[in-house]
C-alpha cells in the first residue's frame, strides 16, 4: 500500500492502492468512476483510455501509484461546467452522429478523440482514423464514430472562426 | 392524425435515448455493479487440451488470506443438479448429449477448461489463489480437427458417448437430385472451408450472483441476451423454483450471439454465491473470453454443383462437417439452419444436404451473428467459381439464377416461399451504383502497372422473420409478448423481453409506440432487463424489428383504445370521436376540447367514480403478421498488394432491403457493424489452435480485430419495395452484414488475383495466405 494524492476530474483525491493495482482498477473500484471500461487489460483495445497530464493513456497499463501527483481526466470529467450528465461538444457531436451502439468502447473513444482533437483541431478523416486505430469497437464499423469526431472538429472550427470581429461582420452582412 | 405523427418518429433517424448515459460514463454494465459484502471469483483453467485430472489440491489456495472459498468440479456437482446444457434441454435436442459439468471433474477437454473456482475478497486475491491451486494432469491425445474426431480410432472426449460425434449423420434430398445431376451439362466438385473465429464483444461474459439465504432468492445481475433464459438456466442447474431466481441486466457491452442463457462459469458463480451466502462477481478477462467463451464457424463442405452450359445452377449436393468443439450445443443444431437456407434466393431444381458434427478439444461452438452464414459463403463462392469456368460475369450469373418476384411466389427447393424477395432488384441497383465496365477498364490499367484490383458481389436473404407459413396458426417466429401501461404520470411504458445490447431498442420501440399512441417520443419509456417484470423474450436472430416492433405497434394501439374508452366516459363523448395527438386527447373537430394524456392517466389512477382505479394496461402478443425476408446484394472493390499480400478494401457498397426502416441511422449502424465483422473474418480474425490443441490467439495481439483503418466507408442503399403486411413491414437487419460480407470480400480478392489463376476455396485470407495462394497458382512467378 502506498498513499497517493492526485487530481481527478479537477478534484483532489487520495488513496492507498496496492502497488500492483492498475490506474483503471483504482479509478473504478476506489474512486467509483466506473465510466472507464476494461476491454482487454493488455493495452490493445483502448476502452480504458483516460487523459493523464494532457496525454491519452491506457489506464490498464499504468499503475495507480504512477499517477501520484498527476492530473487525470476520465469520461465523467468532460461535462461542461461540471454539470453531471451534461454533454461536452464532442459527446454532443457523437450523439448527433449516432456514433455508438453497445457503448462499452465509448469512453475510450471519447477520451482518445478528446486528447487528439485538442492537439489536432484541424485533422481530416484519414488522420482521425489513424489516431483512433488503437481503439477497438466491435459494433459500428467505425464510420459513425469518425463522423462524430469530424462533426465536433467542424463545429469547433466554426466557433473559432467567429471571433468578435467576424461576428460583427456577420451581423452587418445580415443587416 | 396518427399518420402525421408516424411521419415524425418512425422512419426518422431519431437520436438514441441510450446515448446520453453511455457518452458520459453513466452506463451500468455488469462490472459496474457493487453489492455490500461482494466477493470476486476467478477460475483455475486447464493448460492442456485433453487430459485426465488426477488430483486438484486447493489447500494452499484456501489458506491464503482473503480467499473465502475454493470449489472444485466435484464439489460443484455435489451442490447442483446434474443435467444437460440448459439450452439443449430447452430446444428438446434429441441427438447425442454429452456429460455436462460446470467445471471439469474427471478430465479437461480444452485449453481453458475451468477446473476450480476461487472466491476471494478481491479479483486480485482470487487470481493469487488460482496460482496456488495444484492440478495434476495425465495427458490424453488431443482431438484437434474434425477429420480425426470422426475417425473411430480417436479417443472419445465424453465417456458416455463412446465416440466424438455430436450430431449424427443425416441426409435430406429436395427435388430429384440424381436426375438433376444426370441432366446437367457439367458437374463441378469442390471443397470449401470456413475457419474458426468468434464473437468478441468488447464486454466479455460476466455476472454478479447474489443469493439471499433468508428469502431463498437468487438475484443474478447478468450480461445476457435474455434475462428469462438466464433465469431458467440458473433455476435448472441450482434446483430452484424459477420464481426464486430474478435476473437483472443493465447495459450490455455487445454479444453477437455469445450471451444466450448462462455459461458454465456463470452457473458455477451462482452456485458459489448460494454456497457462501454472499454476492459473488465474475467478469471474464480478455484471455478467458478468447480462450473459453466460445467460438464459431469452423465448417467444411464438399460441394457438387450441377450446372448447365448456359450458367444455370441446377442443383447442389453438399456434405457438411461442423467442428462443434468441446461441450457441444449450438454447433450440433446449426446444420439444419444451413440446409434450409442454402438455396438462398435462387431457383435450384434439386438439393442434397448431409451433415455430421464432430466433437474436438477446442472451445465450444456458439452462435455468432448469422450462425448459418456459411451457407451463403458456400453458395456465393460456388456461383463465382462456376461463372469463371463459363466465362460469365458475377452479376450476370446471379441475375440468371435468382428467382423472380412472381405471384404466387417462387418457393425455395427446401420449402419456404420467396415472398417479397428483391434479390434481383438489389443486383440491378448494385450494377447501377458501381459502374462495372468503368471498373474493368481501371482494373486493366492497374494490372498493367502491377496493381491488382478486384471486384466481388454476393447476394443473400435472411429469414427475419421469414414468410408466414400458410398452414401455421401463427407467424414464423412464434409469438412476441409485451406489456404496455399508461402510468399515473402519463408515461407510456413498454415492458419487453428484448434485451438490447447495442440494438437501440429503447429508441426504436419508443418511436413506434409514440407514433401509434400519439404522444411525444420522450413520453414513452422502454423497460428491459428484469425477469420479474418483463415478459419472456430473447434478443437474437434479427427478431426484434418485426416481432417486437410489431407488438409495440399493436400493443400501443390496444392501449390507446383502452385509454380512449376511459376518456370517452370522462369527456362524455363516444370513443370513436376521440383522437390522441401530441400527448393530448381531443374530440375530432374541436381542438379546444383537448385534455392531456397525463390528466386522463391521473383521473384513471384516482378512480373514475369512486369504484377504484382503472387499469390502463394491456398484455399484447404479435405473431409476426405476414413476415417476410430481408436481403440484398453487397459489392466490394479491393486492392491486393501481390508483394506483401495485404488487402485493402477500397470501396464497399451495400444494397439492402429490410422493408420499412424504423430508424435509418440504427439500421445503417447494424449493416456497417456486420460488414466490419465480415471484413475482419476474412482479412484478420482466426481462433487458432496448434496441432497439440494449444490455443494460439488468446490476446488481441494474436486475435486481430478490424480497426478504423481496416474498414472503409460503407455506402448503403435501401430498397423498401414490397409491403406485405397492413401495418408491420419492418424486417430484421442485425445479421445480414456479417452473413454476406465474407463472400463479397473473398469474391473480390479472387477477382483481383485472377491474373495468377488463383482459385479460392476458403474464407480466411491474411497476407501470408494471399502470398501462398499466388505462389501455389503461379509457382514460377511468370505471371507477375
pLDDT at res. B369 = 97
- Give the three-state DSSP class for A147: helix
CA angle in degrees (0–180, nearest 5) for B518-B523-B529:
120
Mean per-residue pLDDT, B721-738? 92
Residue A35 CB contacts under 8 Å (≥ 6 apart), including other chains: A74, A75, A76, A107, B24, B25, B26, B27
For helices B505-517 and B544-571, angle between their N-to-C axes, nearest 10 degrees:
40
Query: In angstroms, what separates the C-alpha of B706 from chain A's closest C-alpha?
Result: 8
pLDDT over threshold 80, residue A139: yes
A18: which chain B residues are within 8 Å (Cβ-Cβ)?
124
pLDDT-derived band at B240, boundaries 50, 70, 90:
very high
Q: A42, B666: Cβ pair inside 8 Å?
A: no
Task: Report the chain B residue with the minimal C-alpha distance to residue A147.
Answer: B713
User: What is the tens place of the pLDDT at every residue in B581-617?
Assistant: 999 999 999 999 999 999 999 999 887 555 556 789 9
Q: A138, B673: Cβ pair inside 8 Å?
A: yes
B702: which chain A residues are within 8 Å (Cβ-Cβ)?
none
Mean per-residue pLDDT, B612-641? 92
How many CB atoms within 10 Å of residue B211? 25
Q: How many residue pairs from chains A and B have C-beta atoms closer than 8 A?
A: 174
pLDDT at res. B721 = 77
Mean per-residue pLDDT, B111-136? 98
Residue B546: exposed, middle, or buried by beta-carbon count in 10 A (0-12, 13-18, 19+)?
Answer: buried
Percent with pLDDT over 70 in chain B: 97
User: Going by DSSP bridges, is the β-strand pair B39-45/B186-194 parallel, antiparallel, or unpaired?
Assistant: unpaired
pLDDT at res. B2 = 36
Mutate to test the interface with B, among A33, A89, A101, A144 (most CBs of B within 10 A): A101
- Give the three-state DSSP class for B590: strand
Mutate to test the interface with A, among B14, B23, B29, B511 (most CBs of A within 10 A): B23
Q: B20, A103: Cβ pair inside 8 Å?
A: no
Q: ipTM of this model?
A: 0.96
**Cell of residue B8, nine digits:** 415524425
What's the rounded Cα separation, in Å, for the pair B521 and B528? 17
Site of grid cell 483503418: B709
A134: which chain B residues are within 8 Å (Cβ-Cβ)?
707
Residue B759: exposed, middle, or buried by beta-carbon count in 10 A (0-12, 13-18, 19+)?
Answer: middle
Q: pTM for the whole thing? A: 0.96
Asked if A101 has any chain B CB less than 8 Å from its own CB, the reply is: yes
A87: which chain B residues are within 8 Å (Cβ-Cβ)?
20, 23-24
pLDDT over threshold 90, residue B75: yes
What's the rounded Cα separation, in Å, for the pair B110 and B328? 12
Fold of A4-78: Ubiquitin-like (UB roll) (3.10.20)
Instruction: Please list the residue range(s) of chain A that carry CATH number 1.10.150.120.
Output: 80-161
- Give the three-state DSSP class for B784: coil
pLDDT at res. B351 = 98
CATH of span B299-470+626-777 = 3.30.365.10
> The CATH number of B2-26+479-622 is which of 3.40.50.300, 3.30.365.10, 3.40.50.720, 3.55.40.10?
3.30.365.10
CA-closest candidate to residue B763, choices B647, B667, B660: B647
CA angle in degrees (0–180, nearest 5) for B781-B188-B782:
10
Q: A85, B20: Cβ pair inside 8 Å?
A: yes
Cβ contact B708:A132 at 8 Å: yes
B700: which chain A residues are within 8 Å (Cβ-Cβ)?
40, 42, 44-45, 136
For helices B597-606 and B544-571, angle between their N-to-C axes, nearest 10 degrees:
70
B654 φψ region: left (φ > 0), alpha (ψ -120 to 50), beta (else): beta
Asked if A155 has any chain B CB less than 8 Å from its own CB, the reply is: no
For chain A, where are the alpha helices, taking DSSP H only? 23-25, 89-96, 106-119, 125-131, 143-161, 164-174
Q: Cα dihedral sign for B514, B519, B521, B526? A: negative
The residue count for chain B? 784
Mean per-residue pLDDT, B469-475? 67
Q: A21, B124: Cβ pair inside 8 Å?
A: yes
Cβ contact B677:B710 at 8 Å: no
Q: Which residues are paired to B171 by β-bridges?
A: B354
pLDDT at res. B8 = 86
Mean per-residue pLDDT, A46-53? 98
B22: which chain A residues are within 8 Å (Cβ-Cβ)?
100, 103, 106
pLDDT over threshold 60, residue B464: yes
Domains B33-140+199-292 and B299-470+626-777 share a fold: no
What is the residue extent of each domain of chain B?
2-26+479-622, 33-140+199-292, 299-470+626-777
Q: B669, A41: Cβ pair inside 8 Å?
A: no
A128: which chain B residues are within 8 Å (Cβ-Cβ)?
708
Residue B451: exposed, middle, or buried by beta-carbon count in 10 A (0-12, 13-18, 19+)?
Answer: middle
B669: which chain A residues are within 8 Å (Cβ-Cβ)?
98, 101, 139-141, 144
Q: B672, A140: Cβ pair inside 8 Å?
A: yes
Mean per-residue pLDDT, B529-545? 95
Query: Which one is predicted more confidently, B611 or B534?
Result: B534
pLDDT at res. B7 = 55
Cβ contact B123:B285 at 8 Å: no
State the distance between the two ends of chain B, measured CA to CA, in whole angstroms. Answer: 67
pLDDT at res. A164 = 60
CA-closest candidate to residue A30, choices A3, A58, A50: A3
pLDDT at res. B4 = 38
Cβ contact B258:B366 at 8 Å: yes
Q: pLDDT averaged over chain A?
A: 92
Mutate to test the interface with B, among A136, A141, A142, A148 (most CBs of B within 10 A): A141
Q: B24, A78: Cβ pair inside 8 Å?
A: yes
Q: Which of B527-541, B601-615, B707-721 has the lowest mean pLDDT?
A: B601-615
Query: Which one is predicted more confidently, B434 or B541?
Result: B434
Q: B709, A35: Cβ pair inside 8 Å?
A: no
Asked if the bond preceding B232 is cis, omega within 30° of 0, the reply is no
Q: pLDDT averaged over chain B?
A: 95
User: What is the tens place of the pLDDT at every residue in B293-313?
Assistant: 999 999 999 999 999 999 999
CB contact residues (below 8 A), chain A span 114-153, against chain B: 128-130, 132-146
CATH of span A80-161 = 1.10.150.120
Q: A35, B714: Cβ pair inside 8 Å?
A: no
pLDDT over threshold 60, residue B701: yes
B707: which chain A residues are within 8 Å (Cβ-Cβ)?
132-136, 142
Query: In angstroms, what separates the C-alpha of B564 from chain A's closest C-alpha?
Result: 36
Of A40, A103, A104, the CB nearest to B700: A40
CA atoms within 13 A on the CB side of B305: 24
Query: In angstroms, what separates the C-alpha of B739 from chain A's closest C-alpha?
Result: 15
Q: B202, A39: Cβ pair inside 8 Å?
A: yes
State the distance between the two ends of chain A, measured CA to CA, in whole angstroms. Answer: 67
Mutate to test the interface with A, among B12, B16, B21, B24 (most CBs of A within 10 A): B24
Percent with pLDDT over 90 in chain B: 91
Q: A95, B501: Cβ pair inside 8 Å?
A: no
Mean per-residue pLDDT, B120-137? 98
Residue B462 CB contacts under 8 Å (≥ 6 apart), including other chains: B370, B542, B629, B630, B631, B732, B735, B736, B739
pLDDT over threshold 90, residue B441: yes
pLDDT over threshold 80, residue A113: yes
Of A35, A105, A141, the CB nearest to B676: A141
Mean per-residue pLDDT, B670-682? 98
pLDDT over threshold 80, residue B503: yes
Cβ contact B315:B384 at 8 Å: no
CATH of span B33-140+199-292 = 3.90.1170.50
Q: What are phi and psi of B654, to 5 degrees?
A: -120, 120
pLDDT at res. B722 = 76
A96: which chain B residues are within 8 Å (Cβ-Cβ)?
15
pLDDT at res. A166 = 55
Q: Which residues are paired to B296 by β-bridges?
A: B197
Helix, strand, coil percentages in chain B from 3-state DSSP, rounded to 5: 35, 25, 40
Of A41, A45, A146, the CB nearest to B708: A146
Instruction: Please list the residue range(s) of chain A that carry CATH number 3.10.20.30.
Output: 4-78
Amino acid at each position: 500500500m502506498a498513499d497517493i494524492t492526485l487530481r481527478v476530474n479537477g478534484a483532489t483525491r487520495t488513496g492507498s492502492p496496492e502497488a500492483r493495482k492498475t490506474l483503471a482498477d483504482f479509478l473504478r473500484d476506489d474512486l467509483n468512476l466506473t465510466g472507464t471500461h476494461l476491454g482487454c487489460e493488455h493495452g490493445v483495445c483502448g476502452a480504458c483510455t483516460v487523459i493523464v497530464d494532457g496525454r491519452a493513456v491506457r489506464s490498464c497499463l499504468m499503475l495507480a501509484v504512477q499517477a501520484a501527483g498527476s492530473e487525470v481526466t476520465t469520461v465523467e470529467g468532460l461535462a461542461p461546467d461540471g454539470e453531471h450528465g451534461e454533454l461536452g461538444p464532442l459527446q454532443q457531436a457523437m450523439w448527433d452522429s449516432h456514433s455508438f451502439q453497445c457503448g462499452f468502447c465509448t469512453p475510450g473513444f471519447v477520451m482518445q478523440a478528446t486528447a487528439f482533437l485538442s492537439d489536432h483541431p484541424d485533422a481530416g478523416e484519414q488522420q482521425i482514423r489513424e489516431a483512433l486505430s488503437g481503439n477497438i469497437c466491435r459494433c459500428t464499423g467505425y464510420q459513425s464514430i469518425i463522423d462524430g469526431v469530424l462533426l465536433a472538429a467542424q463545429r469547433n472550427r466554426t466557433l473559432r472562426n467567429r471571433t468578435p470581429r467576424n461576428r460583427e461582420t456577420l451581423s452587418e452582412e445580415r443587416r | 392524425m396518427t399518420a402525421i405523427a408516424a411521419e415524425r418518429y418512425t422512419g426518422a433517424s431519431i437520436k438514441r435515448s441510450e446515448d446520453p448515459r453511455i457518452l458520459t460514463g453513466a452506463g451500468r454494465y455488469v462490472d459496474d455493479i457493487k453489492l455490500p459484502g461482494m466477493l470476486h471469483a476467478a477460475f483455475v483453467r486447464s493448460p492442456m487440451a485433453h487430459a485426465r485430472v488426477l488430483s486438484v489440491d486447493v489447500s494452499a489456495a484456501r489458506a491464503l488470506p482473503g480467499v473465502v472459498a475454493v470449489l472444485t468440479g466435484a464439489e460443484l456437482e455435489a451442490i447442483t443438479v446434474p443435467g444437460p446444457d440448459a439450452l439443449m434441454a430447452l430446444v428438446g435436442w434429441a441427438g447425442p448429449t454429452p456429460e455436462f459439468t460446470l467445471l471439469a471433474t474427471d478430465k479437461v477437454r480444452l485449453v481453458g477448461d475451468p477446473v476450480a473456482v476461487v472466491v476471494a475478497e478481491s479479483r486480485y486475491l482470487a487470481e493469487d489463489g488460482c496460482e496456488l491451486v495444484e492440478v495434476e494432469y495425465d495427458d490424453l491425445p488431443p482431438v484437434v480437427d474434425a477429420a480425426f474426431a470422426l475417425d473411430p480410432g480417436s479417443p472419445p472426449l465424453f465417456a458416455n458417448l463412446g465416440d466424438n460425434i455430436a450430431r449424427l449423420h443425416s441426409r435430406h434430398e429436395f427435388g430429384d437430385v440424381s436426375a438433376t445431376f444426370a441432366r446437367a451439362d457439367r458437374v463441378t466438385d469442390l471443397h470449401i472451408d470456413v475457419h474458426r473465429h468468434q464473437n468478441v464483444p468488447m464486454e466479455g461474459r460476466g455476472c454478479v450472483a447474489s443469493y439471499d439465504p433468508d428469502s431463498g432468492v437468487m438475484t443474478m445481475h447478468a450480461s445476457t441476451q435474455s434475462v428469462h433464459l438466464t433465469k431458467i438456466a440458473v433455476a435448472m442447474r441450482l434446483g430452484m423454483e424459477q420464481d426464486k431466481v430474478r435476473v437483472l441486466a443493465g447495459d450490455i457491452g455487445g454479444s453477437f450471439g455469445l450471451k444466450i442463457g448462462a455459461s458454465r462459469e456463470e452457473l458455477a458463480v451462482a452456485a458459489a454465491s448460494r454456497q457462501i451466502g454472499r454476492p459473488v462477481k465474475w467478469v471474464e478477462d480478455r484471455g478467458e473470453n478468447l480462450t473459453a467463451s466460445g467460438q464459431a464457424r469452423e465448417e467444411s463442405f464438399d460441394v457438387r454443383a450441377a450446372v448447365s452450359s448456359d450458367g444455370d445452377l441446377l442443383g447442389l449436393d453438399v456434405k457438411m462437417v461442423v467442428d462443434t468443439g468441446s461441450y457441444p450445443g449450438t454447433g450440433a443444431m446449426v446444420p439444419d439452419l444451413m440446409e434450409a437456407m442454402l438455396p438462398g434466393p435462387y431457383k435450384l431444381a434439386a438439393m442434397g444436404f448431409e451433415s455430421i458434427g464432430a466433437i474436438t478439444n477446442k472451445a465450444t461452438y456458439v452462435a455468432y451473428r448469422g450462425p448459418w452464414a456459411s451457407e451463403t459463403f458456400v453458395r456465393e463462392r460456388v456461383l463465382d467459381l462456376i461463372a469463371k469456368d463459363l466465362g460469365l460475369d458475377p452479376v450476370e450469373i446471379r441475375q440468371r439464377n435468382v428467382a423472380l418476384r412472381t405471384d404466387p411466389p417462387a418457393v425455395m427447393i427446401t420449402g419456404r416461399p420467396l415472398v417479397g424477395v428483391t434479390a434481383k432488384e438489389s443486383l440491378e441497383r448494385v450494377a447501377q451504383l458501381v459502374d462495372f465496365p468503368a471498373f474493368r477498364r481501371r482494373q486493366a490499367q492497374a494490372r498493367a502497372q502491377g496493381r491488382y484490383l478486384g471486384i466481388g458481389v454476393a447476394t443473400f436473404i435472411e429469414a427475419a422473420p421469414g414468410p408466414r407459413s400458410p398452414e401455421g396458426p401463427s407467424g414464423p417466429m412464434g409469438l412476441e409478448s409485451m406489456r404496455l401501461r399508461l402510468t399515473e404520470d402519463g408515461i407510456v411504458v413498454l415492458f419487453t423481453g428484448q434485451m438490447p445490447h447495442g440494438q437501440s431498442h429503447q429508441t426504436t420501440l419508443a418511436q413506434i409506440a409514440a407514433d401509434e399512441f400519439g404522444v411525444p417520443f420522450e413520453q414513452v419509456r422502454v423497460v428491459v432487463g428484469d425477469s420479474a417484470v418483463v415478459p419472456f423474450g430473447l434478443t437474437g436472430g434479427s427478431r426484434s424489428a418485426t416481432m417486437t416492433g410489431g407488438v409495440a405497434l399493436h400493443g400501443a394501439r390496444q392501449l390507446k383504445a383502452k385509454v380512449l374508452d376511459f376518456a370517452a366516459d370522462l369527456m362524455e363523448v363516444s370513443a370513436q370521436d376521440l383522437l390522441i395527438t401530441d400527448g393530448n386527447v381531443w374530440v375530432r373537430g374541436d381542438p379546444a376540447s383537448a385534455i392531456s394524456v397525463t390528466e386522463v392517466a391521473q383521473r384513471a389512477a384516482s378512480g373514475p367514480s369512486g369504484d377504484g382505479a382503472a387499469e390502463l394496461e394491456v398484455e399484447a402478443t404479435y405473431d409476426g403478421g405476414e413476415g417476410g425476408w430481408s436481403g440484398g446484394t453487397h459489392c466490394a472493390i479491393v486492392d491486393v498488394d501481390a508483394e506483401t499480400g495485404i488487402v485493402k478494401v477500397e470501396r464497399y457498397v451495400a444494397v439492402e432491403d429490410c422493408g420499412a426502416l424504423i430508424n435509418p441511422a440504427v439500421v445503417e449502424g447494424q449493416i456497417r457493424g456486420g460488414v466490419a465483422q465480415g471484413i475482419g473474418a476474412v482479412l484478420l480474425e482466426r481462433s487458432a489452435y496448434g496441432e497439440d490443441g494449444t490455443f494460439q490467439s488468446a490476446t488481441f495481439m494474436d486475435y486481430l480485430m478490424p480497426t478504423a483503418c481496416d474498414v472503409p466507408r460503407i455506402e448503403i442503399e435501401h430498397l423498401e419495395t414490397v409491403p406485405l403486411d397492413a401495418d408491420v413491414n419492418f424486417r430484421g437487419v442485425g445479421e445480414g452484414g456479417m452473413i454476406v460480407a465474407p463472400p463479397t470480400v473473398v469474391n473480390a480478392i479472387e477477382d483481383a488475383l485472377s491474373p495468377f489463376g488463383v482459385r479460392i476455396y476458403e474464407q480466411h485470407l491474411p497476407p501470408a495466405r494471399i502470398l501462398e495462394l499466388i505462389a501455389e497458382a503461379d509457382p514460377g512467378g511468370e505471371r507477375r
